[in-house]
Structure 1
């Protein structure tokens, strides 16, 4: 299987396991800058050079050798499951993507037809009942994860623990897992643990939120989207994420973790 979703600087200063919807655009740009002294011109997900990626065939041998020997500092970043799935809905389901089209072609028409959701019209800018549509989307997300229908789960709403685990199962070891919610603090600890060709000042680095502006603006506080049934569905889908990454299942309004991540526990439970 190898190391899907793994990026590494060309200098091999650091290895990163991408978790979608968890500041991956900003992290990728920081890695790129640390080697080259400039940011990639465009969405870092489109970069085919300047950064080793598992999706680039010529990078796979270097990544495999490094990760299996734990030659470099390795890390990833996680996010509150409530805000992550909400962000996925507004970006991927309601939003128009970089190519000017809907995400994954017939996905949104299928959701409209089978689950009765609305997405704000053809351009995503018309008013609609965001809470009702999001809750219907949650049913769809649960169906994809639990029964793999009407399609396989998408990387943007499948559990973070699934992404994190492939790195461990195939022979990788994390030195750090930090929280999107305390990004500067966590990313600084990563930078303090490695040597870079170019100094990164996190206070001046822009946030590369590539999904921002794709979809309609969220109109309500996070907790308004989750009633008892929605919370039950979220826990069914993301129980392992809440437990391992120490987020508060009982209070959707609290985006911050309620404990520290135990790396030994993560490696033990996700390494099976």
Structure 2
């Protein structure tokens, strides 16, 4: 299995486990900058050099040795499950991707046909009932996660604990898990703990939100999208995420964490 979704700086200063929809574009650019003193020109997910990624055959043995010997600081980043799945819906389902096409080709037509979802027309710009469509998307997401039908779950809405766990289950250990909602605080703690070839001034780092502008803007407050049934589905899918990463299931309008992440608990519960 190895360490899918794991990136490491060329200087081996830090190891990062990517969790989709959790500030991964910004984090990738920060750690790239920390080695090179400049940002990658383009979406960091497209970078083929300048950092080690598990997806590159040449990087795998180096990442594996570093992670298993815990010779570099390792971290990941998580996000409130309510805002994360909403973001996935607007970006991946309603939005046009950076290649100018719909995400995953036939996925959106399938959702329109089988679940009655609307996505704002061909370009995602038309008005549509966002709340109704999102709740139908939620049924689809639950079906993919619970029964792997009509397809396997997508990385952008599968549970964060699943992404985080592969790193632990294969012999990795996190030094810190940061929250997207307290990004600057968490990222500063990571930077303070490592030696980087180039100094990073977080206050001057732009946000690299690669999904921004792909899809329609969210027209309502977060809590309006979640009725009693939606919250039940969310809890069914993301119970471990709420529990381990200390988010408030009871109140969709509260995106902030409500406790401290216990790394020992995370390693114990996700390592088995």
Shift of 1:39: 0.1
SS in 2 for 1:203: helix
The aligned counterpart of 1:168 is 168
* Cα distance, 1:92 vs structure 2: 0.1
Offset of 1:151 from its aligned partner? 0.2
Alignment partner of 1:255 is 2:258: no
Deviations 1:199-232 (A, max 9, x none): 1011010000000000000000000000000000
In structure 1, the residue matched to 2:55 is 55
TM-score, normalised with respect to structure 1: 1.00
Match of 2:11 in 1: 11
Map 1:62-141 onto structure 2 (within 5 A): 62-141=62-141
Q: Residues of 1 paired with 2:260 and 2:125: CA distance?
A: 39
Structure 1 counterpart of 2:190: 190
2:268 maps to 268
User: Normalization by structure 2: what TM-score?
Assistant: 1.00
Residue equivalent to 1:181: 181
Shift >2 Å, 4+ stretches: none
What SS class does the counterpart of residue 52 from structure 1 fall into? Answer: strand
Cα deviation, 1:40-68, whole Å, max 9, x if unaligned, reads 00000000100100001110010000000
Counterpart Cα distance in 1 of 2:79 and 2:197: 29
Cα displacement string for residues 164-187 of structure 1 (whole angstroms, at most 9, x for unaligned residues): 000000000000001000000000
Q: Give me the whole-angstrom Cα distance separating, in 2, the residues matched to 1:47 and 1:192.
A: 25
- Local SS of the residue matching 1:243: helix
1:212 maps onto 2:208 in alignment: no
1-structure distance, mates of 2:61, 2:148: 32
Q: Determine the C-alpha separation between the residues in 2 that align with 1:51 and 1:90.
A: 29
Give 1:163 deviation, angstroms.
0.1
> Is 1:152 aligned to residue 152 of structure 2?
yes
Deviation of 1:255 (Å): 0.1
Equivalent residue of 1:7, what SS? strand
5+ residue gaps, structure 1, are none
Extract unaligned runs of 5+ from structure 2: none
* Alpha-carbon distance between aligned partners in 2 of 1:234 and 1:95, rounded to the nearest angstrom: 22
Q: CA offset at residue 160 of structure 1?
A: 0.1
2:200 counterpart residue number: 200
| Per-residue Cα deviation, 1:20-54 (whole angstroms, up to 9, x for no partner) | 00000000000000000000000000001001000
CA distance in 2 between counterparts of 1:266 and 1:246 reads 11
What is the CA–CA distance in structure 1 between the aligned matches of 2:119 and 2:195, rounded to whole Å? Answer: 45
Question: How well do the aligned residues superpose, as a CA RMSD in angstroms?
Answer: 0.2
Task: Quote the offset at 1:121 in angstroms.
Answer: 0.3
